[in-house]
């Protein structure tokens, strides 16, 4: 047997979505676009809708999807999910729960939806509505859990 030892090596991969200047990394933007394309390919339009879209060409009034808008919505949604306990704090390993910050981010997404009504491509509108629905449900669940914990703590302190 030979004493051939293979040298172990490792790679460090920066998975942060933003550069030090605060801009979205090119790889992340490309990944988001690929994911959106995969999602679109997974869920083809129902036959009735497909017939409508093929029968009538898109009008000039139909807004086009803008990747930057979708990235903005996803960024706000990710931040809201983070403060709703969706991600662990790297320092402590504990989930971060900040209902006030989550409420602000959800309100921003609501305002964005309200102010852009009628100016969004159907995919953008669906993305925003779906994200808002999920975040609001999670927000309610977290608030109920926090209230239940507060009630338990209050009951323990009473004689």
For 56-105, the pLDDT digits (tens) are 455 557 888 999 999 999 999 999 999 999 888 889 988 888 999 999 99
Q: How far apart are CA 86 and CA 77, in angstroms?
A: 11
Q: 10 Å Cβ neighbour count for 106?
A: 20
Between residues 139 and 12, the one the model is more confident about? 139
Give the pTM: 0.58
pLDDT in tens, 101-146: 999 999 999 999 999 999 999 999 999 999 999 999 999 999 898 8
Q: Are strands 95-97 and 84-88 parallel, antiparallel or unpaired?
A: antiparallel
Instruction: Give CA–CA dist 84/94, Å, rounded.
Output: 12
pLDDT, residue 105, reads: 96
CB 32 within 8 A of CB 70: yes
| Residues present in the chain in total | 159
Sign (positive or negative) of CA dihedral 114, 99, 71, 57 = negative
**pLDDT mean across residues, the chain:** 80
Distance CA(37)–CA(39), nearest Å, equals 5
Count Cα atoms within 13 angstroms, Cβ side, for 79.
17
Chain centre distance of CA 89: 17
Place of tokens 């933003």: 18
Q: Cα-flanking dihedrals φ and ψ of residue 84, to 5°? A: -100, 15
What does the pLDDT read at residue 18?
Answer: 67
């Amino acid at each position: 047997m030979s004493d051939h030892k293979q040298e172990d090596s490792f790679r460090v991969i920066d998975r942060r979505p933003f550069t030090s200047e605060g801009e979205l990394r090119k790889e992340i933007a490309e990944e988001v676009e690929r994911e959106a394309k995969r999602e679109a390919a997974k869920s083809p339009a129902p036959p009735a809708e497909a017939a409508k879209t093929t029968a009538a060409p898109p009008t000039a009034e139909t807004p086009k999807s803008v990747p930057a808008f979708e990235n903005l919505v996803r960024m706000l949604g990710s931040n809201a999910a983070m403060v709703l306990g969706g991600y662990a704090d790297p320092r402590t390993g504990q989930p971060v729960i900040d209902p006030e910050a989550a409420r602000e981010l959800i309100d921003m997404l609501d305002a964005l939806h309200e102010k852009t009504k009628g100016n969004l491509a159907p995919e953008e509108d669906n993305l925003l509505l779906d994200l808002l629905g999920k975040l609001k449900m999670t927000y309610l669940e977290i608030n109920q859990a926090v209230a239940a914990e507060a009630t338990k703590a209050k009951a323990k302190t009473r004689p």
